[in-house]
Amino acid sequence: MKQACVAGLCLHRVFPVWYERIIYRKNLLNWYHSNMVVRIRFGKSSSLGRTLGRKRQEDKRLALILAALLPPSALAAAILGIWRIAADLNWTSSFAISSGIFSHWQVWLAAAVALQLCSRVLTRYGKSGDPAAG
């Protein structure tokens, strides 16, 4: 702390708290005029772009796996829809589900179409950006 004495009168001895506030305010004012540098670090060896690229590749791989599993489910739903139509026309014995929403053939055929469309969309997403996809 700097000592300010004028004509034998030392301010820091007469008004110690008041004098310290003046010095404190001076330091604050000087601090506001300095430049501030903010540095952001994302990690040691991995960059944000590589991490997102790796995540996107995993998503595409998962989309292709799911797209491969959906067509058999769509086929099963279509078979159940056809079975329900055949049961309504008395070509086969009664349908396995006699009441509820799944007792209607429209629900099964709509589910088959929706599953097939989802499979195509996922296949398209999984192969996007792939040069071998053609």
Q: Write down the domain spans for the chain.
A: 1-38, 48-133
Q: Are 113 and 70 in contact (CB under 8 A)?
A: no
3-state secondary structure of 93: coil
Q: What is the pTM of this model?
A: 0.57
Q: Are 1 and 21 in contact (CB under 8 A)?
A: no
pLDDT digits (tens), the chain, 134 positions: 455 565 555 655 555 555 555 555 555 555 555 666 777 776 665 555 556 667 888 889 999 999 999 999 999 999 999 999 999 999 988 888 888 898 899 999 999 999 999 999 999 999 887 666 55
* Three-state secondary structure of 32-63: HCCCCCCCCCCCCCCCHHHHHHHHHHHHHHHH
Q: Determine phi and psi for 33, rounding to 5 degrees.
A: -85, -5
Place of tokens 């049961």: 87
- Both tokens of residue 132? 């071998």
